[in-house]
């Protein structure tokens, strides 16, 4: 039996409950979704950097390796949620 696209899983219902906390309007929800989207992109970029460098952030493996993190650049991205500024790790 196929699931309808409109039926939420238990995990999605839990996420919706967490998302709704402290929200008083649809604007509040949209603002949270915008921040969550930007945060997700940033975490994906951090994971990509970990993979590229071969070690996790704050790991001593990168010390004196000549191949280490060097702060962040900031970029504004546009999505369905509007514009968001994200921090892009650099090396």
pLDDT at 43: 97
pLDDT at 3: 58
- Is 80 a member of any domain? yes
User: What is the 8-class DSSP label of residue 61?
Assistant: G
Residue-range definition of the domain harbouring residue 87: 25-58+67-91
d(C-alpha 84, C-alpha 31), whole Å: 10
Flag whether 17 is in a domain: no
pLDDT score of 4: 64
C-alpha to C-alpha distances, 2 to 5, 6, 9, 62, 73, nearest whole angstrom: 9, 12, 13, 48, 44
Residue 72 falls within a domain, yes or no?
A: yes
Number of structural domains the chain divides into: 1
Q: Is the pTM of this model over 0.95?
A: no
Main-chain dihedrals φ then ψ at residue 82, nearest 5 degrees: 105, -160
- Kindly give the parts of the chain with pLDDT less than 50: 1
**Residue 2: what pLDDT?**
55
Q: Give the span between the Cα atoms of 23 and 43, in whole angstroms.
A: 24
Please indicate, yes or no, if residue 38 is contained in any of the structural domains.
Answer: yes
């Amino acid at each position: 039996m196929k699931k309808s696209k409109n039926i939420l899983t238990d995990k999605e219902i839990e996420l919706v409950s967490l998302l709704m906390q402290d929200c008083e309007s649809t604007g509040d929800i949209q603002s949270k979704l915008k921040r969550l989207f930007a945060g997700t992109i940033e975490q994906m970029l951090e994971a990509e950097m970990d993979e590229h460098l071969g070690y996790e952030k704050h790991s001593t493996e990168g010390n004196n390796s000549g191949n280490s993190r060097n702060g962040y650049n900031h970029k504004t991205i546009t999505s369905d949620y509007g514009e968001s500024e994200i921090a892009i790790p650099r090396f």
